[in-house]
Amino acid sequence: MVSRVTDDYRNMAAAGCAAVTEPAFWAGFDRSSAQGFHDYFCQITEHEPKRAAKYGLPHFCWLCINPKESEDVQLAEEVLALIPQFLDRPTVLGLGEIGLNKNSRNELKVLEMHIELAARHDLMILAHTPHLEDKFKGTRITLDALRNNRRIKPGRVIIDHVEEHTVAMVLDAGFWAGMTLYPGTKCTSSRAIDMIEQYGPERLWMNSACDWGDSVPLAIPYTALEMRKRGHSVAQIDRVIYQNPFDFLSQSPKFKLPSS
């Protein structure tokens, strides 16, 4: 939500969204110091919950150095050293979105550092997979890195940005799979519904992209409408747009909704 205006909160609340979970995000430019990340972590743990609360929306977040900025290992080490001081804050769910951008050795090293931090503090993980032709390779590398740390429980990890050629390997490995909805690129609503129909609803969820470019914060309600048009029942729709995210996120004792 660092890239969005308050009208988006109002519209999400009006559409029936129950909560917002925001991963640590690229700022639209590469930050030059750990202090910049410190201020950003303060923003999404202190300011954003207050901004969302004005519209009745609980706001939760994930912390990390984003894969787009993970090439600088020294900077990443400095940023990871800051994260533990924020872990006790009431809206922090875990580490994310950690992962790979260009599948480089430095990115992999930083990913492994994040995984070790998560294992040490028993944190849930939200993992990013590359928006590139190398998505299949990047997903496989990410799964291997997670499995190499035996303290990581697959059921407490969601692998985000899956597409048709990566969703099966994620589900087969016991992880959750996230489909990030964009209006024209990555995964559209119709493609996400195709995957739900092919693989079923188990450990599969959708999330709305909120980006600096073309993105639609209401992509999930719009997808629910498209599912109705395809003949999905209210219960089937509720399973993937509400119950699945609720079940996964509720593994964190911090994730509480007013109705729960």
Residue-range definition of the domain harbouring residue 17: 6-249
Let me know if residue 179 belongs to a domain: yes
Burial class (CB in 10 A: 0-12, 13-18, 19+), 136: middle
* pLDDT tops 90 at residue 3: no
Distance CA 181, CA 3 (A): 16
Does 146 map to a domain?
A: yes
Residue 170: CB atoms within 10 Å: 27
pLDDT tens per residue, range 69-95: 999 999 999 999 999 999 999 999 999
Report if residue 126 sits inside a domain: yes
In a domain, 254, yes or no: no
Mean pLDDT of the chain, nearest integer: 94
Which is nearest to 145 in space by CA: 95, 83, 190, 79?
A: 95
Residue 162's identity, in one-letter code, is V
Token digits of residue 172: 């087969």
DSSP state at residue 71: S
Assign 144 to helix, strand or coil.
Answer: helix
Please report, for the domain that includes residue 153, its CATH number: 3.20.20.140
d(CA 260, CA 18): 11
- Min mean pLDDT across 38-47, 124-133, 197-206, 239-248 is at 124-133
Beta bridge partners of 178: 205
Look at residue 203 and tell me if it is in a domain: yes
* 208 belongs to a structural domain: yes
pLDDT tens digits, one per residue of 172-200:
999 999 999 988 777 899 999 999 999 99
Inside any domain, residue 40: yes
CA torsion, ordered 15, 164, 171, 132, to nearest 10 deg: -90
Domain tally, the chain = 1
**Helix-, strand-, coil-residue percentages of the chain, each rounded to 5:** 50, 15, 40
One-letter amino acid of 60: F
